[in-house]
Each structure stands twice: as structure tokens, then as C-alpha cells.
Structure 1
């Protein structure tokens, strides 16, 4: 296997040459390699077919076809290909619509190399773990399965798919899948699951706000917070709001299974 094939292949789609140049300089290295760049989305699908990238960095505002339109096309043609949206906007409506269409994450301008790596690492790690799990079904022993229900909330489609796969292998029925905090509160209210996995950083309503609303109406569902921000202050805030536990991203399936098992048995 060549060094190129070991690295994560990135396709950049942005009409600003400065952004493309900056991203290429930040990404090209031991872990990532930029295999292609586009200034518009006109030839995006044919370029994906030709270059076979592992992940796409897609600008929100592009000539002719905007990022949302292109995201929909990608999801139709390549449903499992992770896409990260590049944007300078913090509009929650944009985040909501992108999450609804199946976005995997956001890179907000101005960005740093660390922020880019954090976003891409979470997604590519989840994709890798998902591929491993789907290649070899690794279910729990019968004595360790849980005949319970769950709701999963995360704005990354790939992370949601990984969570759902792991929980299903544990014998847990996932009755709801949310991509924003408001939707998460509605699904928990509707299904009253035994457990809910709730991301801290959700559009429309963040995880802490969603947790407080859920707790005001439901004191039985065990809430597990997932986060890349393992700050003591944030974790303390979640505990005081009623969280039963935490999962630090990126996570491995066995770690998640052990934590969920412990929380369900407690």
C-alpha cells in the first residue's frame, strides 16, 4: 500500500482560491491529502466518481449551484460519503437545513488548522469504525443485550449512523434520530425512550438546553451527552442539568458499549 493510499483523501469545493490554497496547505501531510479542487459544483459528481475522495469540504456559497443544492445531489448519488460545509455564517437556519440534508460537520471561517483537524478527525474516525462494524457484525452476548429503546441526536450524519449501529448491536431499538436539539426534545417526548444520546453542539437548540427541557418533562429517560469538548465546567453543567453520563468523541465502539451498559444497569 502506498503512502498516498494510506492518507485520507479530501476534495475541496470553494470558489475562493485563497480558501482552497489555505485548506490545501493545512491539510496536505501525513494524515490527509487533497486529491482535487473545484471552484464550482458543475462537475462535482463526475469529479467524485473519478477521484474517489474519502471526504468533501464544500463551500456554502458557490456560483450556479449553492452548497445546499450540491449536498442534496451528493446524498442522492453517494449517500455514505461524508461532507463538511465551509461557511462564514452562524445562521442556525442554515445549520438546521444542512443537518436535515445530511451534512457531517461545519468548518467556520475564519478557521484554524486545529479546528479543521478536529472536525475531520471526528467524522473520518466515525466512518472508519462504522466500516469495521458493518464488515463484521459484532453483537453482544445474549446475556448482555438490552431490550430497551433509544433516541440519538447528533448533527453529523456519520456519527449518528455509528451510534445507531452500535446501539442496535446491543439489542437497543433506536426509535428516533435527531439532527438538532429541538427535534431531539420532540422525539424524546413522543417515544419516552430508556436512554438518549445527546450531542452538546446541536443546531437550533444546543444539547444543554435540550437536556433541561427534557428533564422538565421527563425524569426517567437516561441522558448520555456526547462531546468533543471535555471541559470540567461543561461536564459539571450537564450533570447539574440531569445528565447520566458522557461519551467523549471520537469514541470507539467498545468504549461506547461499556459506558451505555453501565448507565443502563445503574
Structure 2
């Protein structure tokens, strides 16, 4: 059981009373607590400042409000807060735009209990690891690194976690991408020491991006991020040019170990 003071704090923003009620019932548990609810986005930023949530569940279709603009405002003002977008629009273009704006995950209406808890579990896991990574003693403090990195993952929360771990190691993150195509462009522009590529990304997946990066930037080392811990996945990544892999869900210590070995 998680101690009360260590619970992740959640703010729900939805104009539907019934949806807020359902989410509140599901999200008030041993590991998370709902610290506030809003029916509109007019006071959202001020409420975040007051309640200090770790996660915001944000309805895309709030009356009189652009959900993407709210998402961008939260990301710009409180980048440490993970935003889960709630939407009734099963629209790939919207998901891409929201991913680019910084969303940590999606809940599509009508939603099931399994879907909500599944998305929340992934986001909460990453948030907890991010908090650990930020607080942890830095063993690399007296060993400055000149390495640079590009981080590519369609989950903004996982990008933030990886970026925090890399920064902790003294590695300068010169770019973050939410899809494979964007990753190839950032690698071409910055020629980093290492690129962290998610295996499954929109527009262009990690393997497709790696092929382009290998041809255009052969000195950039690549590490593949995957939730599919299979021999076939590792074999395909290695044959395409990956120097290592990180398995989701990951722990900062394992990420640090893998990247240190690749950069050595």
C-alpha cells in the first residue's frame, strides 16, 4: 500500500458531472487521490498552482475552450504535470497534435474501467519514476559528460522521464520528438551522441527512423525503447543498428546502466 503522503494527486477537468463522478470513484484509491474537480478550463492554471496535482485528466471538448490550447498552456507553465486527454473524438490527427503538444495519454469516450486504469497506471508509473530520478543522488556529479542526446517517444511523460535521467547523468538533451520522422530531423540537425527511439511511434516507427539515422548519422548511437521483450524484437533492432535496448516499464537505474555502457 502507498502511504497517504506519497499518493499521486489528480485534478479532473470535465463539464460532465457524471464523468467526473465516475473518474473520482475510480481514481480515489490506495495509490492516487482526486484533489479537485473543474467543469471548465477558465481557472485551470490557477487551480494547478493551488492544488499542485501530479496528473490532470483534461476533457478535450470543454465548452468555449480549445483543449489543445489548454494542454499547451499547462505544458508550458507546469511541464512537470502529466496531462491525460479525455476525448470523444477517435481522431488520429487529434492524437498526433495532442502528443506534439505534450499529452501523457488518452482516454477515449465511452471509456471502460479497464481503459482508465490502464492509462493511469502507465502515466502514474512514469510520474513516480520521474520523481525518484529528480530526487536521487547524482553519482555523475563529479564526472561531467560532453555527450548529447535526442529522445523520441510518443508519450510525453516517458520523454520527460528519460530526459531527467539523461540530465542526471550529465548528458545534454538537444531535442525531443513524439514520432519517428521528427526524430530523424532532430538527429540530422544536432548530430547527437545517442538517440533513444521508441519502437512504436506514429508517422514513422523506431525501426524505420533508425534506418534513416544509421545512413545519415552513422556516428550517432541508438538505443531502442520497447514494451515487447521478445527475441524477435531485439534481433530486428540489433540488425537495424541499435546498440542496446530499454524495456518498458523501466527503472532509472537500468536506463542509466544501459546508456552508460553504450556511451562508454
> For the superposition of Structure 1 and Structure 2, which TM-score range results when normalised by the shorter chain?
0.7 to 0.9
Structure 1 pair 124–62 and aligned structure 2 pair: CA distance change class (3 A): same
Query: Do residues 154 (structure 1) and 141 (structure 2) align?
Result: no
Give the drift of 1:40. Answer: 2.4
Distance in 2 between the 1:202 and 1:237 partners? 16
Deviations 1:203-252 (Å, cap 9, x if unpaired)? 33332332233234344422212234435554444344332222123322
**Aligned pairs, number:** 263
CA distance, structure 2, for counterparts of residue 68 and residue 216 of structure 1: 36
Instruction: Give the 5 Å matches for 1:60-79.
Output: 60-79=60-79
Pairwise CA distance, 1:117:
3.6
Q: Which moved more, 1:58-67 or 1:238-247?
A: 238-247
Stretch of structure 1 that moved more, 234-243 or 184-193? 234-243
Alignment partner of 1:260 is 2:259: yes
Q: Partners of 2:46 and 2:166 in 1: how far apart?
A: 36
Relative to structure 1, is the Cα distance of residues 259 and 30 closer, same or farther in structure 2, using a 3 angstrom cutoff? same
2: CA distance, partners of 1:229 / 1:117: 20
What secondary structure sits across from 1:61 in the alignment? coil
Q: How does 1:56-135 map to 2 (within 5 A)?
A: 56-135=56-135
Corresponding residue for residue 5 of structure 1: 5
Gaps of 5+ in 2: none
Residue 28 of structure 1 pairs with residue 28 of structure 2: yes
SS of the equivalent of 2:37 reads strand
**Cα distance in 2, alignment partners of residues 257 and 237 from structure 1:** 23
What's the offset of the Cα at 1:89?
A: 3.9
1:175 corresponds to 2:174: yes
Matched with 2:250 is 251
Conserved? CA contact 1:93–1:204, under 8 Å: no
Instruction: Determine if contact 1:84/1:103 at 8 Å carries over to the other structure.
Output: yes
Q: TM-score normalized by structure 2?
A: 0.82
CA gap of 1:182–1:24, structure 2 versus 1, over 3 A, is: same
Q: Contact conserved, 1:100 with 1:179, CA < 8 A, in 2? A: yes
Unpaired runs of 5+ in structure 1? Answer: none
Farther off after superposition, 61-70 or 173-182: 173-182
